[in-house]
């Protein structure tokens, strides 16, 4: 195989383009170096052509069930991808006895949802046909076993996740909609009769007549990734495809929760692709749409495919996750896909107050975040670090250690490759003047003294959007 490398120069940009092949999937990377007069230094970032794309948090998955299951999905993805990869999530551990096995197929979809076939089958234009399916492969194999999860520092199995990613599936008949986005359909099958599988939460089990936009909250702006899903038990939808007749697809009503899977879009031109991680304060707790949370909504609002600005977003944290847990998931998903931008929570209350009776735990937390930031910067990524915010009821010692974490976070932010998103200064009430008195500002308190309300979430959303926009 011949590797082509092309160098070209302009007055402002020097770029090197190369293509490499991994697991039969093509990944193309462009590295750009330019002179920034504001900092008077060379800045190198990596532009990517793909990004795992799903704003739902890890805690929005159910334990699932077991046995053969086929699930159908429809996605609205930003812009017009030239292909996709299938991502499947599972909480399989090395100590578990029966390993799940998955198959998948995808196709270009349409915006028609008036019948079951229109909802779940591929389409060329508005002509729907099951012959439009393309089956996924994993290293050219027709199926894949679930990945083994990293359990380091785990307190509960709900806070871990393993992920498998298919080879690239080219899709040539994608239809761009009026908003610049496009639809895709997918079917995923768990093939082992007695094996467990992980499912998306019940609220994503959708009647095919339900408008896609309703999940996102049209009143607040619909940016992308509207999704509806359905699970049909004991149907080998991929193995036996193409299917015909009423058993081929879900019928008129929601048929249960779908296997936890989504798509990674691949583009012909570079995009901005974001990966975030954190606990419930970074996730969807108290979000107005119970879907993307303030980070997802900030990133998604920057998507503008009609003006050649394509942005993807993936959230790898979840409610109740401690720093070791959401960092485990982040590190695995970081390795599974290409991202140009990273958003990390530098401080979390989960596991902090109880474990940090003195100063023993604080250096561990700082070291974990520092290592992740350094690795991302070395790989040419932009990193955005949030500082969390105060929680009512902490002791002087705990707040002293929280401040040590914040100080360390701020020291990592150089405004060139690592950018500060000071949510602590925005949300925390420091008017008491003592370390003990550091609650959430009353205007931003949801009432539980831990989570920001909608006003607080919107304030953090706007702050993050402003910081990201300065790098666009």
- Residues 326 and 415: their CA atoms lie apart, in Å, by 25
Answer whether residue 248 shows pLDDT above 80.
Answer: no
Specify whether the CB–CB gap between 341 and 315 falls below 8 A: no
> Taking residues 305-328, what's their average pLDDT?
90
DSSP code, position 59: G
Which stretch of 23-27, 271-275, 292-296 has the lowest confidence by average pLDDT?
23-27
pTM for the full model?
0.85
Distances (CA, A) of 284 to 168, 220, 238, 424: 30, 15, 33, 18
Q: Which of 15-29, 74-88, 436-450 has the lowest mean pLDDT?
A: 15-29
Predicted confidence band of residue 129 (pLDDT cuts 50, 70, 90): confident
Does 86 score more than 50 pLDDT?
A: yes
pLDDT at 61 over 60: yes
Closest-CA residue to 332 (of 110, 93, 149): 149
Q: Are 296 and 121 contacting, i.e. CB atoms less than 8 angstroms apart?
A: no
Residue scoring higher pLDDT (26 or 314): 314
Q: Which residue has the tokens 């909609």?
A: 177
Q: What percent of the chain has pLDDT over 70?
A: 78
With contact defined as beta carbons under 8 Å apart, do 196 and 67 qualify? no
Q: Which segments of 41-115 does DSSP mark as H helices, in order? A: none
- Is the model's pLDDT at 244 over the cut of 80? no
* Range 344-361 average pLDDT: 69
* 393 band by pLDDT with thresholds 50, 70 and 90: confident
Q: In 3D, which of 38, 187, 45 has the Cα closest to residue 107?
A: 187
The yes-or-no verdict on residue 165 having pLDDT over 90 is yes
95 three-class SS: coil
Per-position DSSP letters for 201-219, written without gaps between them: -GGGB--TTS-GGGGT-GG
Q: What is the mean pLDDT of residues 249-253?
A: 60
Give CA–CA dist 389/399, Å, rounded.
Answer: 11
Model confidence at 339, pLDDT cuts 50, 70, 90, reads very high
Query: pLDDT grade, residue 208 (50/70/90)?
Result: low
């Amino acid at each position: 195989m011949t590797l082509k490398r092309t160098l070209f120069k302009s007055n402002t940009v020097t770029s090197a383009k190369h293509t490499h092949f991994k697991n039969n999937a093509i990944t193309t990377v462009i590295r750009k170096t330019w002179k920034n007069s504001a900092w008077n230094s060379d800045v190198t970032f990596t532009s990517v052509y793909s990004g795992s794309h799903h704003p739902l948090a890890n805690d929005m998955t159910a334990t699932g069930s077991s046995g053969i299951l086929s699930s159908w999905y429809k996605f609205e993805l930003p812009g017009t991808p030239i292909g996709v990869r299938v991502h499947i999530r599972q909480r399989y551990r090395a100590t578990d006895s029966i390993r799940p096995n998955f198959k998948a197929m995808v196709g270009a979809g349409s915006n028609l949802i008036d019948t079951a076939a229109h909802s779940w089958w591929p389409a060329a234009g508005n002509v729907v046909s099951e012959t439009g399916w393309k089956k996924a492969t994993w290293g050219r194999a027709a199926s894949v076993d679930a990945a083994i999860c990293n359990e380091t520092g785990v307190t509960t199995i709900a806070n871990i996740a393993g992920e498998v990613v298919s080879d690239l599936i080219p899709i040539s008949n994608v239809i761009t909609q009026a908003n610049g986005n496009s639809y895709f359909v997918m079917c995923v099958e768990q093939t082992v009769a007695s094996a467990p599988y992980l499912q998306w939460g019940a609220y994503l089990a959708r009647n095919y007549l339900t408008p896609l936009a309703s999940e996102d909250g049209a009143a607040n702006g619909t940016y992308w990734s509207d999704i509806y899903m359905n699970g049909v038990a004991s149907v080998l939808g991929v193995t036996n495809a193409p299917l015909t007749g009423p058993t081929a697809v879900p019928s008129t009503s929601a048929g249960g929760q779908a296997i936890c899977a989504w798509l990674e879009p691949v583009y012909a031109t570079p995009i901005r692709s974001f990966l975030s991680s954190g606990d419930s304060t970074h996730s969807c707790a108290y979000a107005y749409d119970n879907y993307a949370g303030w980070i997802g909504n900030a990133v998604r609002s920057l998507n503008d495919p009609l003006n050649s600005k394509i942005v993807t977003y993936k959230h790898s944290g979840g409610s109740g996750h401690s720093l070791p847990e959401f960092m485990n998931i982040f590190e695995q998903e970081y390795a599974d896909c290409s991202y140009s931008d990273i958003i990390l929570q530098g401080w979390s209350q989960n596991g902090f107050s109880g474990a940090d009776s003195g100063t023993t735990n604080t250096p561990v937390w700082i070291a974990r975040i520092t290592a992740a930031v350094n690795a991302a910067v070395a790989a040419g990524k932009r990193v955005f670090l949030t500082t969390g915010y105060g929680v009512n009821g902490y002791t002087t010692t705990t707040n002293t250690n929280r401040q040590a974490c914040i100080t360390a976070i701020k020291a990592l932010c150089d405004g060139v490759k690592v950018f500060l998103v000071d949510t602590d200064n925005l949300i925390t009430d420091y008017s008491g003047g003592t370390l003990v008195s550091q609650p959430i500002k009353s205007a931003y308190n949801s009432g539980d003294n831990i989570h920001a309300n909608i006003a607080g979430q919107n304030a953090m959303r706007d702050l993050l959007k402003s910081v990201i926009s300065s790098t666009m």
